[in-house]
Structure formats: structure tokens, C-alpha cells
Amino acid sequence: MSAEWPLWEVFVRARRGMSHVHVGSLHAPDAEMALRNARDVYTRRQEGVSLWVVPSSAVVASTPDLQGSFFEPAADKDYRHPTHYTVPEGVEHL
Amino acid sequence: MEPGTDRSATVEPRDPMPDGYRRTLVRQIAQHAHSEIIGMQPEGEWIACAPSLRRKAILMAKVQDEAGHGLYLYAAAETLGTSRDDLLEALHTGRQKYSSIFNYPTLTWADVGAIGWLVDGAAIVNQVPLCRCSYGPYARAMVRICKEESFHQRQGFEILHTLSHGTPEQHAMAQDAVDRFWWPSLMMFGPPDADSPNTGQSMAWGIKRFTNDELRQRFVDIAVPQAEALGLTLPDPELRWDEERGHWHFGTPDFSELAEVVAGRGPLNAQRLAHRIRAHEDGAWVREAAAAHAAKRAARTPGQEPAA
């Protein structure tokens, strides 16, 4: 043999009100087994109330090589942050 | 930039990295993963013989944790461009190693206690600094593992404490287990710094944070007062408090024994590996059946592509 089972990325929602967070990956033959394995591998101590499994091959990622130019447009737009602005002394709730 | 130069910057899977850094990480993470998987054997043997239902449930949970730790670590190694099949093949053919400690037998129930207290204790001392290792996926796996290991060590300590304060026979059994596991546990930190040629590079890259001898000393300093609390002695006539250094002085482990076990000539090397290969081969039909089932279902569901 070896047809390796596909790789899945696992996301866990720790509590209601929080978003799912990536916790790791695992191999499983299909989505149902991926969910069951994710439960056993990543939530043995009640770490989650909800699980997502996503085929790793379905993840589209930005390339680290282009990290500079890809995120660069945000670098010189300090005015998007509230700390950019001067507030006169004594003005509250702004 | 060389990994480790900036202590606050982690290296992530798709970042450029030196070949040597990648190779070193694959070797170390794989060895670590293999140790978790082989490490299920010495304790797994005792599940059916645990002295109470509570002890049995605890031991099953612990052995299941070891499987989980192996999986976190295999997944971390795979982010470096190696495959699960390659890793298992490297273990089964002896191309990659696992921790020498698991080649020692568990002769009595007290050995399960000694493994939890000493072997997991030594592993924790080794692993806590790895939570800050420069490679992100490895560091994150170690954070999960360290959280779970502390239960392992406490359950071992509790087993030994109970035996040590039981009948004279039980006390003797606990002492015998500590006598046998003490020195091999000290060897878990690897050869002395003078004989560890890769330590310097690993520290420069931020993979290791402390040397083998520093970690070994830290472990001894932690274990000595704990042994006293257990009412057990450590089998080292040289053990004494060194006022000047502020550390416990201890004797030198027999590193020729470590070299022998690493070279494959330990008490149970052949048995551990044969058992692992048999378990893998016996499970082949399950993996094949699950894959066939998944393929069949995917073919039947319109619009759903198989994930591979």
C-alpha cells in the first residue's frame, strides 16, 4: 500500500461567543472520520463546543515571499487608527 | 535571516529556512513523535493488570494522551515537507530513533508509577523550553503536550506515594522501580555537553534553549525533594547538596549504557519495534477499508469531490 489518507485542518470553538481557531491537522479518509478523529485528538479535555474540519488542499494562503508587497498598502495609513488624531484636553467619550 | 537570530520571531512552515534547520527539525520532531508512540507500549502492557478500576481508567487516558501527542508531533513534522508514511517507514526501518528509555521493561505495577514520576518528569523538563522553540508548529504542539503531561507526572507520583506508604512489600516494590528507572531517566537528557556536537547549532537556531547538562541538573534539583516526600531514596551514593553552586551534586550516569541502548542493544529494542510494526500491519485492512468506503461514498454523492 500506500495511499495516505488526506490531510485536514482542524478548527475548534472553545466556548460559545468565540470564533473557531486553528488547532492543528490530522489525516482521515473522509469528513465524517476527520470530525471523529478531531474530537479524539483535539478535545479530550472539553477544549471545544464546536469543530470544523477543512481539507488542507482547500486552503488558499498568501505567499510569505510576497509578504512585504502584499500587506504593504496598509503600512502608511496610520489615519485608520484612532491614535492618529489629536484630541483637545478635557474632551471625553470621543 | 537565520532562524533564532530574533528571539521573538517564529519561523512558520512556508517561510524560507536553511536546509540544515529543516533537517534538524524533522529529525528532532520525528524522534519526539516516535517516542510518544513507542512510549505507549511499556504502560499499555499494564492496563489489563491495573490494581483498581480508577487506576485503569487513568492509565487508559494517559496512554491515549501519548497517542495524541504523537499525532500533534507528526503533524508538526509534516509541515516541513515530509509525509506521515515516510515518518512511519523511518521508524519501522530504524532510520529514525525514539527515546532510549522505552527500551527498558516495566516489570511491576510500581514501574508505571516510576515512569509517570521520573520519565514524564524528565520529559517535562526537556519540553517546557521547547514551547518557546523558534519553529511555530513545533512550539504550539509542545504547549498542548506540556499542559497534558502534568497530569501524567502527578498520577505516577501518586502511585509511588501510595505504594511507598503501604505494606513493606509495596514500599520495596516502589523503591525497586525508582532504583531501576533513576539512571535511565537521567540519560534521557542525552550525552554530556562535551559529547553533544549539535547542541551549539541547535541553540543558535533557537531550537534548543538549554544544554543537556543544564536540563539534567534542573531535573535532579526538582526530583531530590520529591523523592524525600515519597519516602524513597535515589540510587546515587554521590548525591549531596552543593552549597557553593546552589545545586544538588550527583554522580555521572553510565553513558556507555546509553550508547548501547541507542545503538539498538537495549533490553527491549527488538521487541518494541517488532510490536510497533505488527500493530501497523495488523491495522492495514482498517485503513484500506476506510479509504475504500470514503471513495465509494464520494462517488455516490453528486458534486462532492474526494478530498485528496
The DSSP output letter for B264 is I
Give me the DSSP letters along chain A.
---PPPEEEEEEE-STTS--EEEEEEE-SSHHHHHHHHHHHH-TTS--SEEEEEEGGG-----GGGHHHHHGGGTT-GGGSGGGS---TT----
pLDDT digits (tens, 9 = 90+) for A5-53: 999 999 999 999 999 999 999 999 999 999 999 999 999 999 999 999 9
pLDDT digits (tens, 9 = 90+) for B144-156: 999 998 899 999 9
Distance CA(A80)–CA(A74), nearest Å, equals 9
* Residue B96 pLDDT level (bands cut at 50, 70, 90): very high
Q: Smallest Cα–Cα separation from B70: which of B37, B116, B94, B99?
A: B37
pLDDT digits (tens, 9 = 90+) for B158-211: 999 999 999 999 999 999 999 999 999 999 999 999 999 889 999 999 999 999
Which residues in chain B have Cβ-Cβ distances shorter than 8 Å to A23?
144
pTM value is 0.92
Distance CA(A24)–CA(A42), nearest Å, equals 8
Give ∠ CA B103-B265-B220 in degrees, rounded to 5.
50
* Structural fold of domain A2-76: Ubiquitin-like (UB roll) (3.10.20)
pLDDT at B304: 56
pLDDT digits (tens, 9 = 90+) for B239-270: 999 999 999 999 999 999 999 999 999 999 99
Q: Which residue of B has its CA nearest to A61?
A: B14
Chain B: residues touching A (Cβ < 8 Å): 12, 14-16, 61, 64-65, 68, 71-72, 75, 78, 83-85, 140-141, 144, 148, 284, 287-288, 290-291, 293-294, 297-298, 306-308
